Amino acid sequence: MDPRPAFPRLTGSADVSVRPAVPGDAVAVAAVQEVTWRSAPPGAVPAAALQAWDADAATASWAAAVSAPPTPGHGVLVAVEGSQVVGFAAYGPPEVEPGEQPHPAGPTTELALLLVEPRWGRRGHGSRLLAAVADVAGATGAVRLQTWVAERDEVTAGFLESAGWDRDGWVRTLDAAGTPHREARWHTLLEGAG
């Protein structure tokens, strides 16, 4: 029996929907990631990640994430228009930063990545993915969502802000092949959370 929660039914038409990813989606998910990262504003994605991109390795990684998630709390959802995967969201338990205490509101789910291929943008796919992650997280008992956003990624920051998210004060600097890559953490409480 699958230990993951049942996926809630989302609103949408037959042409536009969000569903759990299946292993056969891995090629499309990797392609969405590559196109979206390569189209991102300078500084939003570390240059080293783009230079080291390997489509076969990315596809294998997404296939593993879908078919054998590391915990029951991990998952991947895809946005579909017609029969085409046009975006995806990956989520799971958050990484706890050194010195961080549990959030007083309760359990948190981390949005690891949410991407919509640019030519499919502004059609509500990102909002549907975000709502679906919130539904799945809430069904597992989470009361809060969080994600890390590159400080120079104004597009993602604006999207999250319009959805009611805000920075929570945590920042981190990652080493991207010798180049510092600063990220700010964003969060929101789920509906009904204290």
**pLDDT digit string, tens, across residues 17-50:** 999 999 999 999 999 999 999 998 888 888 888 8
pLDDT digits (tens, 9 = 90+) for 111-155: 999 999 988 777 789 999 999 999 999 999 999 999 999 998 999
Q: Are 165 and 186 in contact (CB under 8 A)?
A: yes
Q: Is the pLDDT reported for residue 79 higher than 70?
A: yes
3-state secondary structure of 4: coil
Percent of the chain with pLDDT over 70: 91
Spatial separation of the C-alpha atoms in residues 118 and 37, rounded to whole Å = 10
Spatial separation of the C-alpha atoms in residues 130 and 93, rounded to whole Å = 16
Q: Which residues contact 52 (CB under 8 A, 6 or more apart)?
A: 177
Say which residue the tokens 């981190």 belong to: 172
The reported pLDDT for the residue numbered 10 is 46
- List domains and CATH numbers for the chain: 16-189 (3.40.630.30)
The reported pLDDT for the residue numbered 86 is 96
**Count of residues making up the chain:** 194
Lowest pLDDT segment from 7-16, 87-96, 101-110, 165-174: 7-16
Q: Are 146 and 111 in contact (CB under 8 A)?
A: yes
Q: Are 78 and 24 in contact (CB under 8 A)?
A: no
| CA 122 to each of CA 87, 98, 117, 119: distance values in angstroms, whole numbers, following the listed order | 12, 37, 10, 9
Structure tokens at 76: 């991947």
pTM of the model: 0.87
Element (H, E) at 77: strand 75-81
| pLDDT, the chain, mean | 88
Spatial separation of the C-alpha atoms in residues 183 and 11, rounded to whole Å = 33
The reported pLDDT for the residue numbered 132 is 97
pLDDT band for 4, please (50, 70, 90 cuts): very low
The reported pLDDT for the residue numbered 3 is 40
The reported pLDDT for the residue numbered 66 is 96
